[in-house]
């Protein structure tokens, strides 16, 4: 039997419910695993074994009294370090927030606590979620558990690496342009980016507010359904929260009507895609054909504009959001300043890393007088065209199949000096955020270097139940996310 730390959340939930294992046994297994491999992976910024064991004892008491809080009661879940947890540090991977302690829980954290999950550690990330490799962290580089000389993806690299390495059972990340799906693909686990507004952003440190979305990183699609069930729903504390009835995602995994019509956007299979990744995605397409699904080629004609649109809109919103880190209230305060203007400049200069500075400068430029209409306003109009492309395609199909990343994980440092090459890592994921759609990365095999590869399924707005069902059909047969790296 695999070690407890490598089992799925759904399987562990059943073992906890039957009494075959205790929450204390489970968290001790995860703690031991983390202490054994963390020096190689560097996924965590902080973790607290004593607090986790105390929470596990409470879970066991509830279960023994017949008062379980549900299927996630006792399941360890890690948090990307830009999600607020009361009394815990919140760095966003940045030195500017090195000493900040969150005074409240994010809505998704409050919901996890209501479901009895054991919050297990704060995960490394690209600074303020700006990056695709977790090399932009102000603290450390996280390694890919399948090859520690390679990047885990980003910006939720710590979350994905920890799940892949068995250092947690599941994790929450955030996705602004692919930051859940891309690292999930590169680390061989499942990553779900929900529709914009389905999961409350209250308590999520903002990068780009119209693009950010919290979502789960897990070993299986079933586990993602369990996590999404817990964190989804309308929240009056988030003005962009979507009012919708939340279905039973787990129950719908095997009950959705099929076969489906699945679309292949021709623009996602052109030059730049690694031939081995193309081959693995084509095997996924063949599987759905064998299940009776109809495969239809579709066109998303404005796909080539997604990257420039994203790198106008996201930095513009970041420039606005990150203005609050001013050295006056709760962020790093420079000791070198002589006046209030110097305090602002020096505090930000010392606290922010080079990638964050690059994007703030770019965002401030496109919002500046004389350039707003030429760049920001025009980008918003093209964003509408990109969303309309998807809505037009969904008149023909139920979901889309695409690659997640044009390559598998590359070597640490390989692209550090080439920002454009790094930005292209998210070429297949950016559009989903611009259009506010749900997308999921599901492991679909390994390349010749034995590095994992994921396939992306893109669903219709707020139809996560259908998207999860489509993804589960493949995942339940192949279960590549349950394969383990040797560390």
Active site residues: 80, 155, 179
Q: Residues 81, 82, 85, 90: what is their CA dihedral angle, to the nearest 10 degrees? A: 70
How many whole angstroms from its chain centre is CA 181?
Answer: 6
How many whole angstroms from its chain centre is CA 248?
Answer: 22
* Per-residue tokens: 111: 């919901």
User: How many CA atoms lie less than 13 Å away from 268 in the CB half-sphere?
Assistant: 29
Residue 168 near residue 453 (C-beta atoms within 8 A):
no
Residue 98 near residue 84 (C-beta atoms within 8 A):
no
Sign, CA torsion 39/41/45/48:
negative
- Spatial CB neighbours of 278, under 8 Å, sequence gap ≥ 6: 269, 403
Residue 105 near residue 39 (C-beta atoms within 8 A):
no
Sign, CA torsion 10/15/18/19:
negative
3-state helix, strand, coil in the chain (%, to 5): 45, 15, 40
| CA–CA dist 131, 137 (Å, integer) | 9
Measured from the Cβ of residue 222, the count of other Cβ atoms closer than 10 Å reads 23
Q: Is 147 helix (H, G, I), strand (E, B) or coil?
A: strand
* Per-residue tokens: 154: 């980003």
| Partner residues linked to 232 by β-bridges | 199
Measured from the Cβ of residue 157, the count of other Cβ atoms closer than 10 Å reads 37
| CA–CA dist 60, 21 (Å, integer) | 10
Look at strands 76-80 and 170-174 and give their pairing. Answer: parallel
The helix (run of H) or strand (run of E) holding residue 36 is helix 23-41
Residue 105 near residue 86 (C-beta atoms within 8 A):
yes
| CA–CA dist 27, 53 (Å, integer) | 7
């Amino acid at each position: 039997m695999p070690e407890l730390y490598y089992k799925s959340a759904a399987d562990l939930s059943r073992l906890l419910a039957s009494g075959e294992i205790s929450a204390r046994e489970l968290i001790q297994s995860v703690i031991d695993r983390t202490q054994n491999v963390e020096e190689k992976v560097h996924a965590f910024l902080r973790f607290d074994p004593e607090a986790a064991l105390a929470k596990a004892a409470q879970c066991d008491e509830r279960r023994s009294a017949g008062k379980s809080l549900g299927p996630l009661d006792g399941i360890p879940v890690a948090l990307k370090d830009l999600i607020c947890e009361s009394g815990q540090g919140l760095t966003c991977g940045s030195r500017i927030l090195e000493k900040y302690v969150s005074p409240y829980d994010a809505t998704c954290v409050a919901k996890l606590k209501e479901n009895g999950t054991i919050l297990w550690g704060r995960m490394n990330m690209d600074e303020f979620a700006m990056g695709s490799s977790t090399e932009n962290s102000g603290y450390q580089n996280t390694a890919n558990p399948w090859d520690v000389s390679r990047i885990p993806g980003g910006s939720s690299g710590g979350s994905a690496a920890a799940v892949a390495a068995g250092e947690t059972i599941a994790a929450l990340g955030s996705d602004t342009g692919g930051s859940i799906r891309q690292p999930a693909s590169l680390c061989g686990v499942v990553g779900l980016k929900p529709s914009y507004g389905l999961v409350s952003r209250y308590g999520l440190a903002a990068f780009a507010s119209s693009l950010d979305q919290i979502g789960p990183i897990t070993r299986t699609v079933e586990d993602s359904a369990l996590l999404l069930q817990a964190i989804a729903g309308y929240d009056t504390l988030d003005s962009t929260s979507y009012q919708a009835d939340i279905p039973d995602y787990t129950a719908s995994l095997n009950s959705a009507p099929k076969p489906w019509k699945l679309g292949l956007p021709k623009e996602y299979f052109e030059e730049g895609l690694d031939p081995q990744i193309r081959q693995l995605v084509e095997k996924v397409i063949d599987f759905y054909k064998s299940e009776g699904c109809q495969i239809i080629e579709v066109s998303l004609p404005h796909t080539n504009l997604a990257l420039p649109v994203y790198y106008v809109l996201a930095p513009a919103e970041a420039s606005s959001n990150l203005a609050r880190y001013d050295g006056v209230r709760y962020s790093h305060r420079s000791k070198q300043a002589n006046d209030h203007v110097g305090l602002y400049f020096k505090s930000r200069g010392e606290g922010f890393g080079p990638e964050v500075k690059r994007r703030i400068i770019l965002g401030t430029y496109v919002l500046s007088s004389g350039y707003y209409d030429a760049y920001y306003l025009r980008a918003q109009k093209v964003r509408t065209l990109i969303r309309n492309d998807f809505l037009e395609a969904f008149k023909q199909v139920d979901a889309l199949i695409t690659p997640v990343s044009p390559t598998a994980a590359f070597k640490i440092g390989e692209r550090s000096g080439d920002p454009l090459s790094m930005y292209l890592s998210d070429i297949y994921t950016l559009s989903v955020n611009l259009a506010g759609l749900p997308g999921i990365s599901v492991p679909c095999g390994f390349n010749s270097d034995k590095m994992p590869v994921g396939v992306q399924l893109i669903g219709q707005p707020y139809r996560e139940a259908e998207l999860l069902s489509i993804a589960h059909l493949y995942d339940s047969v192949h279960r590549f996310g349950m394969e383990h790296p040797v560390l």
